[in-house]
């Protein structure tokens, strides 16, 4: 994954989050970052102090008992809380913003964060930031998946004709595949998953899309399906095998077919996983963009609730401390860099830095499942991260080291992950 800014987008999306200080005794301070031009609006993410919310954000996630239900047992409670939050946010907007026409929320966050995303003018954003109940107001930023090159492709028919499981080198490097028999699920926050791929056990009833212009979580890009296969492709005599072979993978789609998204959309996906996951589940975020404190906080809160989260370091060959959510640090949150089949750091693209990087995993020329029932070879920290996600699933949150990567870009070689 990567982020991109054109001159046109620069007018609306900052490379540094636009934050306002919440205060009542003085004018709110404004960072010297771009904001909505006079007479125009841009999307802002507004978060509230927990003490100001109409009810507490949910605490630690419950443990899943026995067979996982295909129907959400917490949906009514989540819907009720979201409704109360929406009414509260609407009231605050009515109090603070004097504007012609109503402000509609693009997203309401009530699990990983308490807040909303909406189109606002700079003046409206400042008015909200001046409210003592508001923790932050951040200008939204566009995020794009890396335009990865498909190094090799195998159709569904060709893979079936081969009648054999292909064990990618990365799976072997991290200790081999395990036929997963546990009760935890892997939530893939990405471009969706090929819902009927023969090599994947997809939790379709929990599948959701938040990507603009989409109606379901079926993967039209290929990135999310590739990630899912490395985590959990079945050992079924065809295609490939994942680290936690046969585990349930749940698509949470935050990218469209062209790989476009934004922080506000990604946070909506994280908020959904926080609502529906159980303690011990894992989440994979092979994505990232410019520094965003709000995105970092959403991911950290997901991990704090009991979900083991694997995050890609990024593919800009820069310090990962410049990228969100890669730069976030927390218990149960793991940032992953990439190495090749010879255990050499992927110097041409992988981000680096300790902290925040916790583990290094295979990310060069990785073979896995792909859209339309096929299989493909791709490279990136996006491909390294699901190796660690699969390990977290198999080992219930534990990752072991098999030594240090060679030729790291900094003075502290990353540890290579194994199960």
45 sits in the region (left: phi over 0; alpha: psi -120 to 50; else beta) called beta
Q: Residue 3 and residue 233: Cα distance in Å, rounded? A: 28
Burial class (CB in 10 A: 0-12, 13-18, 19+), 237: exposed
- Residues in CB range of 156: below 8 A, 6 or more apart: 198, 372, 373, 374, 375
Distance CA 359, CA 163 (A): 34
Q: Which of 171, 192, 165 is nearest to 371 (CA)?
A: 192
Which DSSP letter does residue 266 get? H
Annotated active-site residue 343? The verdict is no
* Catalytic residue of the set 107, 197, 223, 387: 223
Give the Cα-Cα-Cα angle 389, 395, 401 (nearest 5 degrees).
75
Q: H-type helices in 97-221, by residue range?
A: 122-129, 156-162, 169-173
Give the up-direction half-sphere exposure of residue 194: CA atoms within 13 A in the CB hemisphere.
Answer: 23
As beta bridge partners, residue 107 has: 117
Element holding 289 (H helix, E strand) = strand 289-290
Cα–Cα distance for residue pair 143/286, rounded to 1 Å: 12
Bridge pairing between strands 178-179 and 208-209: unpaired
Residue 382 known to be catalytic: yes
Tokens of 285: 């975020």
- The C-alpha atoms of residue 7 and residue 295 are separated, in whole angstroms, by 24
Distance CA 329, CA 17 (A): 18
Question: In the annotation, is 223 catalytic?
Answer: yes
Reference 195, options 373, 54, 28; nearest CA is: 373
User: In the block, which residue shows the tokens 């970092």?
Assistant: 296
Catalytic residue chosen out of the listed positions 131, 165, 190, 218? 190
Q: Could you give the CA distance from residue 107 to residue 58 in angstroms, rounded to a whole number?
A: 18
d(CA 97, CA 113): 22
Contact 342, 310 (CB under 8 A): no
Q: Which member of 382, 387, 408, 414 is catalytic?
A: 382
Catalytic residues: 190, 223, 382
């Amino acid at each position: 994954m990567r982020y991109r800014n054109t001159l046109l987008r620069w007018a609306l999306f900052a490379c540094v989050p636009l934050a306002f200080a919440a205060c009542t005794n003085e004018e709110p301070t404004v960072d010297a970052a771009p904001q909505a031009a006079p007479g125009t609006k841009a999307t802002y993410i507004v978060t509230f102090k927990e003490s100001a919310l109409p009810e507490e954000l949910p605490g630690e996630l419950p443990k899943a008992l026995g067979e996982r239900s295909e129907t959400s047992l917490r949906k009514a409670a989540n819907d009720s809380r979201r409704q109360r939050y929406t009414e509260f946010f609407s009231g605050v907007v009515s109090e603070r913003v004097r504007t012609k026409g109503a402000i509609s929320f693009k997203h309401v966050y009530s699990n990983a964060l308490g807040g909303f995303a909406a189109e606002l003018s700079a003046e409206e954003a400042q008015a909200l930031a001046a409210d003592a109940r508001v923790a932050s107001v951040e200008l939204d930023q566009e995020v794009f998946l890396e335009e990865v090159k498909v190094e090799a492709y195998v159709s569904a028919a060709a893979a079936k004709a081969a009648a054999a499981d292909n064990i990618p080198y990365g799976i072997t490097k991290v200790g081999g595949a395990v036929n997963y028999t546990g009760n935890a699920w892997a939530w893939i926050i990405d471009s969706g998953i090929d819902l009927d791929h023969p090599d994947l056990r997809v939790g379709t009833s929990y599948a959701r899309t938040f990507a603009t212009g989409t109606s379901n979580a079926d993967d039209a890009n290929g990135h999310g399906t590739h990630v899912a296969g490395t985590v959990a492709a079945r050992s079924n005599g065809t295609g490939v095998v994942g680290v936690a072979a046969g585990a349930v993978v749940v698509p949470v789609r935050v990218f469209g077919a062209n790989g476009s998204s934004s922080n506000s959309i990604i946070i909506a996906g994280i908020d959904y996983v926080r609502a529906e996951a159980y303690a011990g589940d894992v989440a994979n975020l092979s994505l990232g963009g410019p520094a965003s404190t709000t995105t970092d906080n959403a991911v950290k809160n997901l991990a704090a609730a009991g979900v083991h989260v694997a995050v890609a370091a990024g593919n800009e060959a820069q310090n990962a401390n410049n990228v969100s959510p890669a730069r976030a640090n927390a218990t149960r949150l793991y940032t992953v860099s990439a190495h090749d089949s010879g255990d050499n750091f992927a110097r041409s693209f992988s981000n680096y830095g300790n902290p925040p990087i916790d583990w290094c995993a295979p990310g060069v020329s990785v073979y896995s499942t792909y859209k339309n029932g096929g299989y493909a070879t791709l490279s990136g920290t996006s491909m390294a991260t699901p190796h660690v996600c699969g390990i977290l699933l198999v080992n219930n949150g534990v990752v072991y080291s098999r030594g240090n990567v060679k030729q790291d870009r900094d003075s502290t070689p990353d540890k290579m992950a194994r199960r």
